[in-house]
Structure 1
Amino acid sequence: MQQRNNEFGQPIGAPVPDWHGAQKPDATPLTGRYCRLEHVSAEQHANELYDAYQQAGDARDWTYLSVGPFDSFDAYRAHLTRIAASADPFHYTVIDLATGKAVGTLALMRIDAVHGVIEVGFVTYSRLLQKTRAGTEAIFLLMRHAFDTLGYRRFEWKCDALNAPSRAAALRYGFTFEGIFRQAIVYRGRNRDTAWFSIIDGEWPAIRTAFDAWLEPANFDAHGVQVRKLADLVDEQRARTPRTDAA
């Protein structure tokens, strides 16, 4: 893109004509092939979610989260009641369509509709959701909702810089690594350097096509093993799809 200068000869950013901001998320369910996202409800989801988290043999899934683990159902239900009342983060329950059961939660957060920036976070997947098509699709449903329905320009992923699985997941999903914010927060009585990743609207068409191809039933063999990896499909689509940064 050719560099633009103002009347003083100073470099300035690309124009964003007719920008009026994005919309904030609401409780509309988001449905895919393998899962449905519903606004978190303690009444509807607490029992199944608590049971799903009990499938883990230890508490390692909570290490990089600012909440949990919960030592009783009542404690977990109280947590779910609190987050259900939150507008930011806005929490969703992941329903596995194969079983009809609630198997995890995640959220849209740091919602900046004025500037079109939103983040996915609080990804709290039970062992029933981890490493499944539904788990990947849940992220895709939020991406698609943010870009295609709500009109965001930037979709972020952040995690503890020491959380190697989360960093690997971000790259697999097509996020671009942007750097480390040192000593960003204190949680659980310890320091967190935060790794930042993003997808911007000009990159979204290629990533959306890659997710669509990966989620196709034909991309899985009779044993449910993927034929092509999502990361490979993302790379392929990036190579063949011109990036069009939205104005």
Structure 2
Amino acid sequence: MNSKTSNPLGAIVERKLARRPSQDAKLSGQYVTLVGLSSEHIEPLYAHVSGEENTYLWDYLFDGPFADLATFRIAMEAKILSQDTITYAIIPSDQPRTTDGADNVVGCASYMRIDTVNRGVEVGSILFSPKLQRSTAATEAMYLMAKHALEDLDYRRYEWKCNTLNAPSRRAALRLGFTFEGVFRKHMIIKGRNRDTAWFAIVDDDWPGVKNAFEDWLNPVNFDKLGTQIKRLEDFRKK
């Protein structure tokens, strides 16, 4: 008489949907605020990401650089109207508020590949101007987006993907607590060039430890009088 043992199966997952991100959300922290990208943000942002000196910002993005405000506006308006991505303007709290708002919006980032059924979402199209790069505000912006997705919207998987040649992005993913999962070879053709894609993720099981490290790092006691970190973000995960 033939007998067959049961095949291993994954754990049962509660049947519920994650919530879709919304451009109406406002994510506020100590150092930065994120709001849904709007038409009024486009010109101020362009002032910080345009020009020959900033062309490198676009090397690994799907579009850009843009030679003029008009073409940049068309591209950003498409992001605002998109149902596939939800894009937020990033506004550090220490930026001066000029009359024309030119110092208010210094970057943007999007939720992408929104899958409410399997409860997975990606953070991507990250555009940090030189004013935002390597700042406390930049790190807090990424913390706020992760927290919103994994806690408020109930996603169980939060992804980060980048070109394997983009060493700064790979380092950033690891610093922020994402786990490297592998490379999809010949995954895309971007601007006529091959892209092998490195995949990273934070899953809901990882989040409590990643969250604690973020919050310990962001605590004002972790910065000296000049605003320099005392302890690295990675070090808080080595407890």
Place the TM-score, normalised by the shorter chain, in its bin.
over 0.9
SS at match of 1:235: coil
Q: How many Å apart are 1:89 and its aligned residue?
A: 1.3
How many angstroms apart in 1 are the aligned matches of 2:119 and 2:47?
37
Whether the 8 Å contact between 1:56 and 1:126 is mirrored in structure 2 is no
Q: Which runs of 4+ in 1 moved over 3 A?
A: none
**Matches of 2:152 and 2:51, distance apart in 1:** 35
Normalising to structure 2: TM-score of the pair?
0.92
In the alignment, which residue of structure 2 is the partner of 1:224? 227
The aligned counterpart of 1:240 is none
Q: When the two structures are aligned, how many residues end up with a matched partner?
A: 228
Aligned to 2:202, which of 199, 206, 210? 199
**Corresponding residue number in structure 1 for 2:45:** 49
| Alignment correspondent of 1:245 | none
Code of the aligned partner of 1:197: F
Aligned partner of 1:130 in structure 2 is 133
The residue correspondences of 1:1-247 to structure 2 (distance < 5 A) are 8-16=5-13, 18-26=14-22, 27-42=24-39, 44-54=40-50, 57-99=53-95, 100=97, 101-236=104-239
Amino acid in the other structure paired with 1:114: V
TM-aligned CA deviation for residue 54 of structure 1: 3.6
Residue 238 of structure 2 aligns to a residue whose secondary structure is: helix
How big is the alpha-carbon RMSD for the aligned residues of Structure 1 and Structure 2?
1.3
Distance in structure 2 (CA, Å) of the matches to 1:139 and 1:182: 27
After TM superposition, the score normalised by the length of structure 1 is: 0.89
* 8 Å contact from structure 1 (residues 55, 127) kept in 2: no
8 Å CA contact 1:56–1:127 kept in 2: the answer is: no
What is the alpha-carbon distance in structure 2 between the residues aligned to residue 88 and residue 32 of structure 1?
26
1:172–1:230: 8 Å Cα contact kept in structure 2?
Answer: yes
Take 2:77 and 2:54, find their aligned partners in 1: how far apart are those partners?
Answer: 24
Unaligned 5+ residue runs, structure 2?
98-103
Q: Cα offset for 1:8? A: 4.9
Distance in 1, matches of 2:149 and 2:196, equals: 26
Structure 1 distance, partners of 2:223, 2:151, is 27
Change (3 A) 1:150 1:56: farther
Superposition deviation, residue 235 in structure 1: 2.9
Task: Please state how far the C-alpha of 1:45 moved relative to its aligned partner.
Answer: 0.5
Residue of structure 2 in register with 1:241 after alignment: none
Partner-residue secondary structure (3-state), 2:106: strand
Which deviations, in whole Å up to 9, do the C-alpha atoms of 1:188-207 show, x marking residues without a partner? 10100000000100110011
1:74: Cα distance to partner?
A: 1.2
Instruction: Give the partner amino acid of 1:14.
Output: A
Does the CA-based 8 Å contact 1:90-1:107 persist in structure 2? yes
> What is the aligned-residue identity percentage?
42
**1:107-166 deviation digits (Å, cap 9, x = unpaired):** 000000111100000001100100001111111111000011000000000000110000
Q: Is the 8 A contact 1:55 1:126 kept in 2?
A: no
